[in-house]
Structure 1
């Protein structure tokens, strides 16, 4: 049986990224994934998805979305909360 990780942030908290590509950026926690220990932060860790053309769309497109990051890569930002 897998143990659910204790996460030190809650939805609505302002956090600062302390490691990774978006280091020193701040954002608000939107969603928490307790089973994987990851969180979704507004405006942080954007990924791109390339969509092929199909019957409905004549042209393909590139969609941009926020990807979750591990909770150990952020700290609570008490200055802006």
Structure 2
């Protein structure tokens, strides 16, 4: 997967912010759900949940209406280039890393040049 927990991403599809959507909004990935190809992004895709009234251990009543973030499909977000702060595509390149005196070949993620079409 090209998107990982902690990445800064931007929503690239859906209704614009003027129409009540989240397109163009940036946020940090809180969690990645690989089975369903969805990501949980901070401050994006709020939904209203109705929580049943119950009692906590202190005897206080909890419940009511809460707004929580819901997962968004991974195809609707793009990683933000740290230099230009614009959405970009992600590539991989092979680099040799020396660790404990041994050379090891690893794949390293990098942000490609930001295009006008994204």
User: Do they fold alike, i.e. is TM over 0.5?
Assistant: yes
Q: Report the equivalent of 1:64.
A: 67
Larger proportion of strand = 2
The structure that has the greater radius of gyration is: 2
Query: What 5-or-longer segments of structure 2 have no aligned partner?
Result: 15-20, 56-60, 86-118
Q: Deviation above 6 Å: which 4+ runs of structure 1? A: none
Number of positions where the alignment pairs a residue of Structure 1 with one of Structure 2: 73
Distance 1:13 1:24 in 2: 16
Taking only aligned residues, the RMSD between alpha carbons, in angstroms, comes to 1.9
Higher relative contact order (CA 8 A, sep 6+): 1
Do residues 50 (structure 1) and 44 (structure 2) align? no
Return 5+ residue gaps in structure 1 as ranges. Answer: 1-6
